[in-house]
Structure 1
């Protein structure tokens, strides 16, 4: 079972590069005896790598040469007619539309109380299997964006009324209109002023823990620190009253742009990965939530509503991605929700996920490093996966695909879902993940998820999960 090719050097067409054009980074990515011809092995001996370039605990990186080659222009070297250029290496691009992913992707939240604990757990559970590690989103971020309600404490009249259930930490809309009317009477139409969202402060603090863990050898070389953020429209859809959504979105977007700038000021690009979580875009496409930028007064047809909805998404995804530096990894988590371990609507198949993923690819004018798509526990039918064949990275290079098909207590079902995905995708590479974050899991559920994840990644990438080594 696998998307991992036995030899990525079997595609038609050859990129011919003089060794001087190939950086040590490319060598680090492609050095693997299983992937080099005999002539290449002999030639490679002339280019010894210093120890810091040998990333033994991240074997997947050896297969990432295709993106670097695609971004690096080929410079023809002068040589006599009929002669082979001296000391050349033939590099065959990987025969995949998607980049080779890491075996495992972590969505963002964990059930642990500190970032340090998450770094230790993830690194020890999945040695060499991660490209990026999030901080686990410890409290108060452990229930996705619920804590963002505090951002609006200086303009509480814009908020939907919520009840706080302390035993779960979950806020729910309670519909108490009298509270809203009282706030309106008290504050009127005053200026909307926001507190800081806190995402930048949390990221910078967790990055210090990340560096400490890496310095201790807990986190391997080359692994990036992943920061998961909501899109501004997610927070607005979640907690802002309809009549204030358009105005508040502008203010909140400004805050999140400032967050991105501050995060990138204090965390170097070579260490940083940013993931945008996208539940409310899915909910709007599924017609579970209305979009405030789409007229609902009968002034436009349903077809035009769809066009306006999609155009609004394109503008919003483009805006936020434009503030992510090109050297920072960028990914998207397409989400159907996990409140009470239930979706806000059951997906019919992956059509909506693919539609949103392709829209993001068309909207974002830079490389997208990964895309995560959820798979419900009961979907072992080919019909669910078939729309994935229309998922096409465009424009700016290859994208890693992660399928959220890992479910706790269900190793058999997880392997069945993988088998169906393999059949439908026809060898297209993907890594494995859970459907959503782990922040609301109980401890025994976390342990089961760890076991299932390791087993799934071991089967998919032919790994020895006991030792964390790739065969």
Structure 2
């Protein structure tokens, strides 16, 4: 959201209000330009929430749980959501991507469970002022207790949004991906799967395709990972 994503770049955060209206107007103009050039039925707007997730995970680590102070902070973070979504036509899809960060190679953060991304997505759904069509929640390794790792999904409030779980990565260890799929299915019977982050397809821990010599071979490996994950999901659902 504009406040949390821009204020951090100011040496004095108190200067942010001086440019806020101009920045918001420029953002609306950019989004409107997209709408004027791409048919609405072919378009989806995805809000990438990396800074928001950072702040939420930091607050959770400090508080030790999702207490009222943390929840109030999340609500404040997403206060601009209705404003940045207000110019998006109703026939254009809107979604939120909770991001664990890629600046030093994905993932920058490896939370112990999905509490933070659930808080983030709930805020996006409740504060956008319009229908939210999809939510993308990344995972990392679920450790020794996969049920505890995915338990926060019981509090996910989609309001009809399609859920995609970003679990196609190399952090799971043996059988970790299928175990996550099974555990997630107990909370969300019907969900899609994806990579955890688009930017994370470069350096970092995300890929199982390290050492491949060419970009084409690298992308071929990524595609094969996705095909294998879809087959795995079908097997989990058919058991």
Q: Does residue 328 in structure 1 map to residue 92 in structure 2?
A: yes
Alpha-carbon shift at residue 429 of structure 1 (Å): 0.9
Aligned twin of 1:149 = none
Change beyond 3 A, Cα 1:445–1:244: farther
Contact 1:408 1:446 in 2 (8 A): no
Q: Which has the larger radius of gyration?
A: 1
Aligned twin of 1:435 = 196
Secondary structure of 1:315's partner? coil
- Where in structure 2 are the equivalents of 1:286-305 lying within 5 Å? 286-287=57-58
Change beyond 3 A, Cα 1:235–1:263: same
Aligned twin of 1:389 = 154
Contact 1:234 1:278 in 2 (8 A): no
Contact 1:335 1:436 in 2 (8 A): yes
Select which of 246, 271, 291 maps to 2:42: 271
Alpha-carbon shift at residue 435 of structure 1 (Å): 1.3
- Where in structure 2 are the equivalents of 1:371-450 lying within 5 Å? 371-379=135-143, 381-394=146-159, 398-408=160-170, 412-422=175-185, 424-425=186-187, 428-438=189-199, 440-441=201-202, 443=215, 445-450=218-223
Alpha-carbon shift at residue 373 of structure 1 (Å): 0.5
Contact 2:53 2:100 in 1 (8 A): yes
TM score, norm. by length of structure 2: 0.77
Contact 2:112 2:142 in 1 (8 A): no
Aligned twin of 2:206 = none
Contact 2:106 2:200 in 1 (8 A): no
Contact 2:48 2:99 in 1 (8 A): yes
Alpha-carbon shift at residue 414 of structure 1 (Å): 2.5
Whole-Å separation in 2 of the counterparts to 1:429 and 1:303: 30
Change beyond 3 A, Cα 1:449–1:441: same
1:24-67 deviations in Å (ceiling 9; x for gaps):
xxxxxxxxxxxxxxxxxxxxxxxxxxxxxxxxxxxxxxxxxxxx
- Gaps in structure 2 of 5+ consecutive residues: 60-66, 204-214
Contact 2:166 2:194 in 1 (8 A): yes
Secondary structure of 1:286's partner? helix
Aligned twin of 2:64 = none
Q: Does residue 283 in structure 1 map to residue 54 in structure 2?
A: yes
Alpha-carbon shift at residue 251 of structure 1 (Å): 2.6
- Where in structure 2 are the equivalents of 1:118-133 lying within 5 Å? none
Q: Does residue 451 in structure 1 map to residue 224 in structure 2?
A: yes
Alpha-carbon shift at residue 371 of structure 1 (Å): 0.2
Change beyond 3 A, Cα 1:286–1:450: same
TM score, norm. by length of structure 1: 0.41
1:74-122 deviations in Å (ceiling 9; x for gaps):
xxxxxxxxxxxxxxxxxxxxxxxxxxxxxxxxxxxxxxxxxxxxxxxxx
Change beyond 3 A, Cα 1:447–1:246: farther
Change beyond 3 A, Cα 1:322–1:361: same
Whole-Å separation in 2 of the counterparts to 1:339 and 1:445: 20
Whole-Å separation in 1 of the counterparts to 2:148 and 2:70: 28
Contact 1:372 1:402 in 2 (8 A): yes
Change beyond 3 A, Cα 1:344–1:312: same
Whole-Å separation in 2 of the counterparts to 1:438 and 1:310: 24
